[in-house]
Amino acid sequence: MQNVVLIIHLLLALSLMGVVLLQRSEGGGLGIGGGAMGPQAGRPPLTGLAKLTWGFAIAFICTSLALTVIGASSSSDSSVLEQIGAQGSADTPATPSVPLPDVQLPDVQLPPAGDSPVLPPRND
């Protein structure tokens, strides 16, 4: 069932992209150029391609919701990492052990917690 809905979803996505690319650019999407933008300018009626775009968009959203519901109902209680860890063999470590280089850190003297830090004098 999930595969059928997924194939329909992919076909809708491709169809939606094609229909959007076929439409004529009206130039007024962001309020830039294109036709009369005065107070009497109304919105033109929807064309056939615009109605088809709306139909594909609604169907795309419906298949998205259906895939979400199907995926949530068939999901397990364990995470993906737990499932991968359960499939791996017991003698191979999950994380590779890399030897750390032998680095000597310098000794740092910290002031006691109650003392305020001493700041160098400012040269103004």
Per-residue pLDDT reduced to its tens digit, 70-110: 988 877 676 777 777 766 555 555 566 777 778 787 777 76
Please state the pTM of the whole predicted model.
0.52
CA-based max dimension of the chain:
79
Which tokens sit at 83? 């499932």
**Residue 122: which residues within 8 A CB-CB, separation 6 or more?**
none
Contact present, 63 and 8 (Cβ < 8 Å): yes
Q: What pLDDT sits at residue 73? A: 83
User: Would you list the domain boundaries of the chain?
Assistant: 48-73
Per-residue pLDDT reduced to its tens digit, 41-58: 667 778 888 899 999 999
CA-to-CA distance for 52 and 19, rounded, in angstroms? 8
CA-to-CA distance for 80 and 88, rounded, in angstroms? 13
- Average pLDDT score over the chain: 78
CA-to-CA distance for 41 and 59, rounded, in angstroms? 31
Q: What pLDDT sits at residue 10? A: 97
- Half-sphere exposure (Cβ direction) of 122: Cα atoms closer than 13 Å: 1
Q: What pLDDT sits at residue 116? A: 67
